[in-house]
């Protein structure tokens, strides 16, 4: 089985009110924090037969579904 980890984050130009809320909470807890941005982490497992083509498949599913290219960027790596 091919295991990949995908991380999807908001583009830098996009406001992240959730991240800001967490940032404020950390500061009120006494931590000095410059900024917090929140993204998504996904684990995608593909069948072993897909190993050779895994990069292309992951690229496609990230573009089509896992990330919205209008507002998000993505990166992935095969970990197993």
Q: Which residues bind another protein (CB under 8 A)?
A: 13-15, 17-18, 21, 40, 65-66, 68, 70-71
Give φ, ψ of 24 to 5 degrees: -65, -40
CB 6 within 8 A of CB 54: no
Give residue 78's Cα distance to chain centre: 14
As measured in angstroms, the least distance from the Cβ of 52 to another protein is: 26
Closest CB 70 distance from another protein, rounded Å: 5
Whichever of 70 and 79 has its CB closer to another protein, that residue is: 70
Residue 13 or 80: the one with the smaller Cβ distance to another protein is 13
Q: Residue 40: name the closest of 74, 4, 70 by CA.
A: 74
Neighbours of 36 (CB within 10 A): 16
Question: What's the min distance (Å) between Cβ of 33 and another protein?
Answer: 18
């Amino acid at each position: 089985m091919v295991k990949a980890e995908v991380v999807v984050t908001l583009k830098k130009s996009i406001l992240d009110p959730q991240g800001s809320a967490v940032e404020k909470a950390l500061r009120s807890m006494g931590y000095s924090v410059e900024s917090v941005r929140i993204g998504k982490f996904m684990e995608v497992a593909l069948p072993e037969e897909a190993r050779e083509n895994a990069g292309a498949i992951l690229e496609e599913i990230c573009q089509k579904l896992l990330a919205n290219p209008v507002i998000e960027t993505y990166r992935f790596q095969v970990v197993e």
